[in-house]
Amino acid sequence: MQVLGIETSCDETGVAVFDSAIGLVAHHLYSQVALHEQYGGVVPELASRDHVQRLLPLIKKTIAAANTDLKSLDAIAYTAGPGLMGALLVGTALGRSLAYALSIPAIGVHHMEAHLLAPMLEKDIPTYPFLALLVSGGHTLLVHVTSPGRYALLGESVDDAAGEAFDKVAKLLGLSYPGGPVLSALAEKGNSKRFHFPRPMTDRPGLNFSFSGLKTFARNTANIEADDAQTHADIARAFVDAVVDTFIIKCRRALKETGLQQLVVAGGVSANKQLRAGLMGLMDEVAGKVYFPRPEFCTDNGAMIAYAGYLRIKAKQKETLNFQARPRWPLATL
Ligand code: KG4
Ligand code: ZN
């Protein structure tokens, strides 16, 4: 079975072909970073317009790279939510129309479920059940995964998502958008002993997160201290250390409460070097195992959508022509 995957939920146009007999056969990404950079964040209207321009050529390119043709496709999977409404509608309308024209099924995929499944595209994969930490620009979720499609939410951010906090702290330090990777690189030059930021919500029971206070802490520190390059690096380091430590503490707690021994970490922030190292250390400590997607599949991409759609079709999920894009769509309702 060959599934075409389409991702247009935010600022990347992603397309891929997944073949159930071979695995991932082709994937292409068009990033809108240059388009939004001058505004310091994603401008939703510009994002939608750009998806309209990029999507068809990217589908053609990916189909060619996969050495297949439209008629050989068995299904089309597209991101139906959560995300920016206008951006979602581009992939949804195109995905469903193409499927209708080809008389094949179309499946609306949940973007965070796709992130969660991205490590399954690697060689060494987890077995069910496992704990999943999903850390993206819009969501921070701790999920107990019992089987494909069965997700119990254990914790989430009560305010900013982890990626959002990275982007905001990067912005206040004058770094370019998206801030996550740049802030992470800057943190490597920082001194971990100079500032100590709090580990939010770790001193009370529960598995929820809060990151907006860390952003304020970073801003207050920047306002008091000298405005030089080393200070910026030291603030970046204190922020990254606090985020990583918080995730270690909460994951350790969740593993203990659930008795799970495998941890899946996915979403844009899972590309973060310091976080990967910290969580690998944790899983060594508890004699468990951690699974990440390869860095290019941590951030948004079409491959994870094609794969998540394939699993849904294999599970015999069917959808009517009456489609819906869902900017808000809780994972646990799947
Ligand atoms: O999953 P993703 O591509 O899009 C959403 O679904 O939101 O995640 C994007 C987020 C951005 O906030 C970006 O700054 C962050 O992931 N990010 C990182 C890194 N790479 C991407 N944050 C920290 N370190 C990184 N290396
Ligand atoms: Zn994403």
- Asked whether residue 227 is domain-assigned, the answer is yes
259 and 149 co-located in one domain = yes
108 and 194 co-located in one domain = no
State CA 64 to chain mean position distance. 27
Predicted pLDDT at 326: 96
151 and 71 co-located in one domain = no
Helix axes 162-172, 229-258, angle to 10 degrees: 170
Tally of domains in the chain: 2
- Asked whether residue 239 is domain-assigned, the answer is yes
pTM comes to 0.97
Predicted pLDDT at 226: 94
CATH number at residue 321: 3.30.420.40
167 lines ligand 1 (CB under 6 A): yes
- Asked whether residue 148 is domain-assigned, the answer is yes
- Asked whether residue 186 is domain-assigned, the answer is yes
Residue identified by tokens 């060594």 is 284
Helix axes 44-65, 85-102, angle to 10 degrees: 30
Give me the domain span that covers residue 39: 2-116+297-333
Residue 297 has, within 13 A of its CA and on its CB side, a CA count of 25
Q: How far apart are CA 158 and CA 142, in angstroms?
A: 12
Predicted pLDDT at 129: 98
Predicted pLDDT at 285: 98
- Asked whether residue 224 is domain-assigned, the answer is yes
271 lines ligand 1 (CB under 6 A): yes
Q: How far is the CA of 5 from the centre of ligand 2 (A)?
A: 14
Q: How far apart are CA 235 and CA 219, in angstroms?
A: 9
**Edge-to-edge strand list for the sheet holding 140-147:** 150-156, 140-147, 130-135, 262-266, 289-291
Q: How far is the CA of 266 from the centre of ligand 2 (A)?
A: 9
164 and 185 co-located in one domain = yes
- pLDDT below 50 — which residues of the chain? none
279 and 303 co-located in one domain = no
